[in-house]
Amino acid sequence: MNYWLMKSEPSVFGIDNLARAKNSTTGWDGVRNFQARNYMREMRKGDLVFFYHSSCEVPGIAGVATVQREAYPDPTQFDSKHDHYDAASKADEPRWSMVDVKLVRKFDEVLSLDELRKHAAGKLKDMVVLKRGNRLSITPVTKSEWHFIEALV
DNA sequence: GCCAACGTTGGC
DNA sequence: GCCAACGTTGGC
């Protein structure tokens, strides 16, 4: 079992959208970064995910989700009218993948980036999402980071 | 294979 | 809205 952090802008799709979705599950499409894609391909059903709110008033972890379906081709890459259309991707060798994630629980309040940073010199010193300049939308979380953060909530 | 230009992310 | 950081593209 592995642990991950996935960023989403709540103005586009936040944790409340996930809570309202059918079966509290959504397809995580639109990823167009190779490293993030590779991480999605490593995800296994049952892996746990911190659902992170970015580009908003209080950036931070809003709750926990789980991988419900492992990587499969993202159909938006083949839709020429879609923002995420990729003319270079071939049907027999899709370039972009997506996974489905299901809500596990929403935190009572967002565990803010500020709060996480308080531990940036300690238990969370290697946490990828806290590293300077990090923009990756999907990052791995270690088991010890996961449990430490769960205990902060 | 280098690297400048460009686009995007995301905190502030 | 600003801008630092970084990924991608494309000319050479």
| Rounded Cα distance, A101 and A6, in Å | 10
Closest nt by CA–C1' to A35: C7
Q: Which residues touch strand B (CB under 7 A)?
A: A 7, 9, 54-56, 59, 113-114, 135-137
| Stronger pLDDT, A90 or A53, i.e. the higher one | A53
pTM of the model: 0.93
Task: Identify the DSSP state of A122.
Answer: T
Structure tokens at A14: 């936040």
pLDDT tens per residue, range A94-119: 899 999 999 999 999 999 999 999 99
pLDDT number for residue A91: 80
Q: Report, in this order, helix, strand and coil percent for chain A, each rounded to 5.
A: 30, 35, 35
Fold of the CATH domain A3-145? ph1033 like fold (3.10.590)
| Rounded Cα distance, A49 and A141, in Å | 9
- Among A13-22, A39-48, A49-58, A90-99, which is the least confidently predicted range? A90-99
Q: Which residues touch strand C (CB under 7 A)?
A: A 33-35, 88, 131-136
